[in-house]
Structure 1
């Protein structure tokens, strides 16, 4: 909700231009009527001896002129296209119908189709010039896989998934195969001549502490059945039970509804799907089951009722329902999956982000198992069947400024108060406790930094793990100051952030983790087609620059022959020097190119090739200087971006994303589109001219705040280049048709005003109704969305528009039309 900027009414540029034209038509009508009234009075003054029927008895020439004015208004009102607005809305509804029923925009895996949540800006899709996209969950699958970890300077990789090791073609789990070297170091099995027994025991203790941090430093909730959000894409709450699905007594139904009301209120965040669930789930209607409440006496009574009959249950495991599971009509394969293991069945982890799920699942695979979690305790089963219950003293939540989150726990055995922290390397590595250059801890930090750089170059998401042991006095002093900050009346957020930063200092590095987030299917081809259509792509992400650049190459946002311009400054002066240096070099090359070739067409062609051969990379710290109005760097930076076909912004915060979209839209006067999948993209989606939400793993916040909803990013190609083009093409031609039609009718009426006026009026009214009905019926039947080759169609449209620009000798900006 903090990223929600509130509702904002969006209007397309076509609608704005049409309103201006209608206003001009009204002014023209008023002027012509005034001219007619003045002419009428002059004519009557000239022929003052005229009587009936030219002049009524007892009426002056001024009154006759006044009546003539309104007569002209009635006769010439055909100049104003009143029926245009009604026909326009009809055509928009028909366009939405074609979009909704296009099977090429339907995702059978997620059982979702494209949705038009805003009916008044469909034609704006064909005029998009800039696209601003999030990376995680939008370009990638947002299904995290634990690939590497660095513990005390030792690298452990995990190249295989469990299903890949079993030879399965269909991935049903994202759990990785355990690294044998890590298992040996953890269990002290094996022989290693380079290390002494003391060193091996120390490494084993460090590995256990690393796994413990993965298990407890999060907001993961353990449950025995998956949580299903009852809110759909429209923002309404589905009824948990049908009237026909249950024939139980009213008292039992009231109990269930009360429990579901409490469950719905307690879950405000839509969690990600569990890692051990199936990747492809058949679409089924969900009938919620009972929540796991300690007092199960009403549940038993409910199940034993003879009149109770469950119609369908889509929850895979219900161990607390007793022996009535035979009525669920499960197949043998499903029953085999539901059979519990000899040990306690693996709990289902639900979290706010898939990163935490991947880390908790990795720790679980190494027998450091989070089995229970409450707001004040975390029960962890350590290797060797040791179950410990840690007391959670405080949770320091993640925010985009600190770029880390922490948890303060109290060890049940040693009674030590420990701060465990995980976050970005740019934040934690600078907050480490000072150590000597030749110490072991300094060597661990250097090796960890090398591993982090290696992980980032591979395109992996990197997190650094650190800790700090607090004394009782230190924790008490911090807690007292923290409570004072919570009770402050002004600048509460800043005071709390400063309180967190004071505690997250003098840290000791434990290790680092690297998580893979795979690209979605069809993303490289989609970006390549959009760039070929002349659309500038901006990718705004919070990842490290190395990780983001690697993903950009994989997604074909960058190509090997591109010149990469990097602006990563730590001061305003350095950022200013970098921007002006790049601008001077580009303008110098452009001037030399203009001197060598003077013709117009080669210049435009070379400009297009130069734009496509250059990309820009900027980090969040530099964006802070650029977006500051006092620095006067916004316009030079935007001018530099116009020479690039794609821009990559790293370490960007949600507010920076929204401000970038706003600045580009207002300064460059272009039509923008923003696409994202999470709550941190809501402000960016609402700021852009067109906002698109991806139905991903991070809930429905982005979809509910968007104008259009897509199940996959790859559908954006057809959505813009085909449906967007035809929507604009149809409506633009229809608007021109109406204005020309009314102008022709106006000229005819004005010419034949003095003869057969009644017949002409009736004929014109009939003709208006007829042509309007035929027009929108023609657009209903005109479905040209089945373009056989979208990429070929894209090149055709872009080339046609470029030729039109050259003929008209107008703007040098190439816009997808």
Structure 2
């Protein structure tokens, strides 16, 4: 019996077994596509071969849409009724067509159709935008070989596997490509992979030797080839999908029939306590909020023409609740441009330009000294009050104070060394050597710009490009490179006369993150062999000879000053070699290069160490890492708003640290915690060592007593792989959240996503990820909110994001302004809906008690239908769209107001229960006060008492007035639209009563006009409406008045100062508000400027103390 069941199950398994869509392979024969292990065979330049099986592969078309024309209706309906709330209302609508419903079917079906229809329309609109974005990408053009050696343009989506394409300079690759040839003689190509792996350095790709001759279009006329691609892992031929177990049915007890029918009726009657209009109102409000974000001119980038874009409207309120920002570096924080700013040559500092940190610190310092001088005068008090009223900011952006350098990559200003004036300096020979090192010690390729006549440089790092531009401006222009030589065009005076010099390139010791230096060995025209080296100052100083330390003390002082100014520094050194010394070393070097085995790298490293010693110090460079416009100020503002910022980058540790200094995530004096893999032992040993480092770092932070102390956590990708393990990640997260800034270097896209998930799940708070490339897609999707930079690095990140902006600096306004507004608007909307529906729905429950729980409603069906759809919906929408507790300018001046969102001050249980209690109170007042007023009282002059339609209409009128007045008192900012919606809703109610009364009794259900004939002539109707409205709103008015007077929130005080233009009597509160204008932070531009000011004040105090000591000595 058991065997039969097993065989039956095996036969049934065929019903849910599916085959993989891959070519079949047998164990006996080779792979169906030529040979074992090969999953794809590509016929190059033979498009007809790929139009028939088995070589017909997928097209190059990409799609990020959720629906298409055929799947929209069923899939969108499934998405809508996947929500429990919509299922509930669907069930209620179905029951409404039965005799059990106390209302007409229209009153239940119409709102559901409206809500679902509007939500589907919103989904269609957002998917249409994604579809248009796909069209934009798929329609990009690229040259392809169409035959006979002729290239023509084709859209990306029409490319086929095997096509030969011609990609020109600064263009994007349309697909995965294999390099056949290039315009360079050696068939090399410099590729920027920033949007894939986050690397800023250019990658060198080399063509195959057999395809190097394909350098002309006509050479592709008869070109054919085959490419065999190996599978990285083997897919299974079959897999089994087991259906879910459906044996868990149960048979509930059957209640009494009357109990069931009454329960259904009660659910229908009290269904108004669950506001279906809440969903549609929030959908409408979110779409309009997203529209305002899209239309915000302050987030429009004029350079690229890209506006901000809310790609989804479902996360608007979460923009105001972000706790941690996880950012990519390359293309997000930086614009990949270095500016040569200062240098130290032969112990003398050159360069008069100032960095952003120096300018801001000097300005703040001058402002503080000016305040101390003016503080004694009475005029200053009035001036200070005026500044308090206007809420002026202090720091002025750099681009408003200084002009931009006209030369890209060169902001150096010092006449002593420009235009050949360096020849008049006392150490002119050392200065010339310094400039030659800049021009020769590099790996770049020059390209002549025919329009300007200047050379541009394709380099592996932006530092090299800045050095070459600086050398050119100093008169030493790198103009040509071959396999064996470097050519420099030297100009010694302003006359323009040049001399072309050739330096034979003998050897090159490349830069690595481990070596932290680069060396070239060249022979000049005089036959002298020179070793030219540049690298980190600590590395170079350790390799100086005794005679080469002449300028070490002065250079060290200059390097410290450059570091404090946020500049990236390198030291330059050299030495001369004799022929015999070089020949002996070169023999060992060539032998090591030809060695095959695991010891090859170690041998090369040891031989390089032999050459890079006994150097002579020449000087040092200082370049400013050009961030995107406004990045330091944006990070500063976000830090003041209380947001934590993590940087996840694929760059090396040194580059990431320098960027951290440039954007003020790091600063001088900040204690850096570097978690590294310091051994190559077994995994368990390494993991224990990393865990010990994390534990020691956490203990160090706990024992720190300096209130100004700040810690930065820096970790690389290899170490992060261990730190993200299940048994280590919690300790790592605890350490990370204690640090002011966190920088993760050399991380893969998967690690970015894992770190994001760790922060999101470990802290339980809202996370935001921002990036611009394909390597950021996983991180963007994993975060609660994903933001893509719509720059020049492709659209992968934008397509995967929830919001897109053109520059990182726009994130400040997106969060601090729109995020704060959207959070508060949605929170107030939801709380008001609780109030509104409780105040209305409980009156139905109270009447049930008077009606013997018969299921009878006191309100007309048409009243019920119009209540949420027309009479109370528009004021709520205006609240969610136009409400502003403070203006956008004040949001930016007082960024700490943003913390109301992460702290959830407007949607915690205290607020929710408070609004629900207010709704309960209003329902009691509306129902029982009307009952008391109309009970046994004459309603008309003839002495008639109020009928049930009259009582229900009067009660409903009180509800309309009370609810609309309540929302008017809730608003802080009024526009004419809000006035129109609030008071227009009340007028619409009276207009409806007038028109409804004139309809035939078959429609209205009344043989008389309820307003004109019954209610309007009765004074008690108007008096009851006025009394109930006042009684409902009086407690709320008392509450907000008490709160503003005795326990004001931050925005209350700002409103008093900003909007009413009057001084605050309680100066203590205003002083508190000024001190809380920004969250205390250890990172950001302001924190860095504060540290610089403390340093300058310390120097000033020491100088004053020194002068006081010397003065008595002179007098004596």
Q: What TM-score comes out, normalization by structure 1 length?
A: 0.55
Q: How many Å separate the matches in 1 of 2:487 and 2:447?
A: 12
Task: Using the TM superposition, give the Cα deviation of residue 786 of structure 1 relative to its aligned residue in structure 2, in angstroms.
Answer: 3.9
Q: Show the counterpart of 1:158.
A: 351
1:207 has 2:434 as partner = yes
Task: Using the TM superposition, give the Cα deviation of residue 95 of structure 1 relative to its aligned residue in structure 2, in angstroms.
Answer: 1.0
1:670 has 2:778 as partner = no
Q: Show the counterpart of 2:290.
A: 96
Task: Using the TM superposition, give the Cα deviation of residue 206 of structure 1 relative to its aligned residue in structure 2, in angstroms.
Answer: 3.9
Q: How many Å separate the matches in 2 of 1:766 and 1:394?
A: 85
1:717 has 2:818 as partner = no
Q: Assess if the C-alpha contact under 8 Å between 2:825 and 2:883 holds in 1.
A: no
For residues 560-619 of structure 1, the C-alpha deviation after alignment (integer angstroms, 9 at most, x for no partner) is 9xx9554246657887667546655766899xxxxxxxxxxxxxxxxxxx9x95532233
SS in 2 for 1:624: helix
Q: How many Å separate the matches in 2 of 1:513 and 1:589?
A: 35
In structure 2, relative to structure 1, the CA distance for the partners of 1:760 and 1:379 (3 Å cut) is farther
Q: Show the counterpart of 1:567.
A: 673
In structure 2, relative to structure 1, the CA distance for the partners of 1:614 and 1:473 (3 Å cut) is closer
Q: Assess if the C-alpha contact under 8 Å between 2:769 and 2:786 holds in 1.
A: yes
Q: Show the counterpart of 2:711.
A: 616
Q: Assess if the C-alpha contact under 8 Å between 1:457 and 1:550 holds in 2.
A: no
Question: Mean Cα displacement is larger for which, 689-698 or 405-414?
Answer: 405-414
Q: Assess if the C-alpha contact under 8 Å between 2:588 and 2:607 holds in 1.
A: no
1:224 has 2:461 as partner = no
Q: Assess if the C-alpha contact under 8 Å between 2:770 and 2:786 holds in 1.
A: yes
Q: Assess if the C-alpha contact under 8 Å between 1:22 and 1:81 holds in 2.
A: no
Select which of 743, 761, 783 maps to 1:649: 743
Task: Using the TM superposition, give the Cα deviation of residue 729 of structure 1 relative to its aligned residue in structure 2, in angstroms.
Answer: 3.0
Q: How many Å separate the matches in 2 of 1:755 and 1:160?
A: 82
SS in 1 for 2:760: helix
Select which of 145, 159, 173 maps to 2:407: 173
SS in 1 for 2:338: strand
1:790 has 2:891 as partner = yes
- The answer for unaligned runs of 5 or more in structure 2 is 1-62, 67-78, 102-253, 355-397, 493-497, 576-581, 679-685, 913-1075, 1080-1116
Task: Using the TM superposition, give the Cα deviation of residue 723 of structure 1 relative to its aligned residue in structure 2, in angstroms.
Answer: 0.8
Q: Show the counterpart of 2:567.
A: 460
Task: Using the TM superposition, give the Cα deviation of residue 717 of structure 1 relative to its aligned residue in structure 2, in angstroms.
Answer: 3.2
Task: Using the TM superposition, give the Cα deviation of residue 62 of structure 1 relative to its aligned residue in structure 2, in angstroms.
Answer: 11
Q: How many Å separate the matches in 1 of 2:602 and 2:274?
A: 62
Q: What TM-score comes out, normalization by structure 2 length?
A: 0.42
In structure 2, relative to structure 1, the CA distance for the partners of 1:87 and 1:588 (3 Å cut) is same
Q: How many Å separate the matches in 2 of 1:62 and 1:548?
A: 71
Q: Assess if the C-alpha contact under 8 Å between 1:421 and 1:467 holds in 2.
A: yes
Alignment of 1:234-313 (within 5 A): none
In structure 2, relative to structure 1, the CA distance for the partners of 1:406 and 1:121 (3 Å cut) is farther
Q: Show the counterpart of 1:114.
A: 308
When Rg is computed on C-alpha atoms for both structures, the one with the higher figure is 2
Q: How many Å separate the matches in 1 of 2:756 and 2:771?
A: 13
Q: How many Å separate the matches in 2 of 1:69 and 1:422?
A: 87
Select which of 328, 349, 363 maps to 2:471: 363
- The answer for unaligned runs of 5 or more in structure 1 is 1-5, 10-17, 41-60, 226-316, 318-344, 486-493, 591-609
Task: Using the TM superposition, give the Cα deviation of residue 361 of structure 1 relative to its aligned residue in structure 2, in angstroms.
Answer: 0.7
Q: Assess if the C-alpha contact under 8 Å between 1:150 and 1:448 holds in 2.
A: yes
1:145 has 2:246 as partner = no
Q: How many Å separate the matches in 1 of 2:574 and 2:274?
A: 73
SS in 2 for 1:99: helix
Task: Using the TM superposition, give the Cα deviation of residue 113 of structure 1 relative to its aligned residue in structure 2, in angstroms.
Answer: 3.5
Task: Using the TM superposition, give the Cα deviation of residue 128 of structure 1 relative to its aligned residue in structure 2, in angstroms.
Answer: 0.3
Q: Show the counterpart of 1:23.
A: 84
Q: How many Å separate the matches in 1 of 2:872 and 2:302?
A: 38
Alignment of 1:733-752 (within 5 A): 733-735=828-830, 748=844
Q: Assess if the C-alpha contact under 8 Å between 2:788 and 2:804 holds in 1.
A: yes
Task: Using the TM superposition, give the Cα deviation of residue 515 of structure 1 relative to its aligned residue in structure 2, in angstroms.
Answer: 0.3
Task: Using the TM superposition, give the Cα deviation of residue 205 of structure 1 relative to its aligned residue in structure 2, in angstroms.
Answer: 7.3
Q: Assess if the C-alpha contact under 8 Å between 1:703 and 1:709 holds in 2.
A: yes
Q: How many Å separate the matches in 2 of 1:761 and 1:219?
A: 80
Q: Assess if the C-alpha contact under 8 Å between 1:126 and 1:728 holds in 2.
A: yes
**RCO higher in 1 or 2 (8 Å CA, sep ≥ 6)?**
1
Figure out how many residues of one structure are paired with residues of the other and give that number.
Answer: 603
Task: Using the TM superposition, give the Cα deviation of residue 796 of structure 1 relative to its aligned residue in structure 2, in angstroms.
Answer: 4.8
Select which of 638, 645, 649 maps to 2:733: 638
Q: Show the counterpart of 1:535.
A: 643
Task: Using the TM superposition, give the Cα deviation of residue 364 of structure 1 relative to its aligned residue in structure 2, in angstroms.
Answer: 0.9
Instruction: Give the RMSD, CA atoms, in angstroms.
Output: 6.5
Q: Assess if the C-alpha contact under 8 Å between 1:377 and 1:392 holds in 2.
A: yes
Q: How many Å separate the matches in 2 of 1:179 and 1:366?
A: 11
Q: Assess if the C-alpha contact under 8 Å between 2:716 and 2:744 holds in 1.
A: no
Q: How many Å separate the matches in 1 of 2:327 and 2:548?
A: 40
Task: Using the TM superposition, give the Cα deviation of residue 666 of structure 1 relative to its aligned residue in structure 2, in angstroms.
Answer: 2.5
For residues 2-45 of structure 1, the C-alpha deviation after alignment (integer angstroms, 9 at most, x for no partner) is xxxx9999xxxxxxxx99995388689999x99xx9x99xxxxx
In structure 2, relative to structure 1, the CA distance for the partners of 1:631 and 1:378 (3 Å cut) is farther
Select which of 489, 493, 504 maps to 1:381: 489
Q: How many Å separate the matches in 1 of 2:627 and 2:601?
A: 34
Question: Mean Cα displacement is larger for which, 360-369 or 789-798?
Answer: 789-798
In structure 2, relative to structure 1, the CA distance for the partners of 1:734 and 1:789 (3 Å cut) is closer
Q: How many Å separate the matches in 2 of 1:83 and 1:393?
A: 78
SS in 1 for 2:823: helix
In structure 2, relative to structure 1, the CA distance for the partners of 1:642 and 1:419 (3 Å cut) is same
Select which of 117, 123, 128 maps to 2:322: 128
Q: Show the counterpart of 1:321.
A: none
Q: How many Å separate the matches in 2 of 1:25 and 1:748?
A: 23
SS in 2 for 1:789: helix
Q: How many Å separate the matches in 2 of 1:114 and 1:536?
A: 23
Select which of 787, 812, 822 maps to 1:692: 787
In structure 2, relative to structure 1, the CA distance for the partners of 1:476 and 1:141 (3 Å cut) is closer
Select which of 299, 313, 319 maps to 1:105: 299
For residues 104-147 of structure 1, the C-alpha deviation after alignment (integer angstroms, 9 at most, x for no partner) is 33455665543334443222211101123467776677643212
Q: How many Å separate the matches in 1 of 2:461 and 2:659?
A: 19
Q: Show the counterpart of 2:870.
A: 770
For residues 518-568 of structure 1, the C-alpha deviation after alignment (integer angstroms, 9 at most, x for no partner) is 67776666545434433234456755798577657xx5x6899xx955424
SS in 1 for 2:710: strand
SS in 2 for 1:778: helix
Q: Assess if the C-alpha contact under 8 Å between 1:146 and 1:176 holds in 2.
A: yes
In structure 2, relative to structure 1, the CA distance for the partners of 1:374 and 1:559 (3 Å cut) is closer
Q: How many Å separate the matches in 1 of 2:640 and 2:832?
A: 31
